[in-house]
Amino acid sequence: MEEGQISCKNCGALIPYHSSRCPECGIENPIPRSEKAKNVIIIAMAVIIVVLVGAMAYGTVNALVKLF
């Protein structure tokens, strides 16, 4: 499977990840729910990582400011 593509839950055709309609069989919302949930988890993890890295960077800057 190519990155950014996913199998239609109805016909199994490979379609772009964010398609709202399957180009092969024409059903709406062809992406399986579990895949969407997985995507939400990945986004949530990315947000948490960004926040943690941001907090660490902010803490480092604060520590440097206190040193000098």
Q: Which residues lie near Zn ion (CB under 5 A)? A: 8, 10-11, 13, 22, 24-25
Task: State in angstroms the smallest separation of the CB of 42 from Zn ion.
Answer: 23
Q: Is the dihedral of CA 51, 44, 2, 20 positive or negative?
A: negative
57 φ/ψ angles, rounded to the nearest 5 degrees: -65, -40
Task: State in angstroms the smallest separation of the CB of 16 from Zn ion.
Answer: 12
Nearer to Zn ion, 25 or 39 (CB): 25
Distance CA 47, CA 45 (A): 5
Task: State in angstroms the smallest separation of the CB of 14 from Zn ion.
Answer: 10
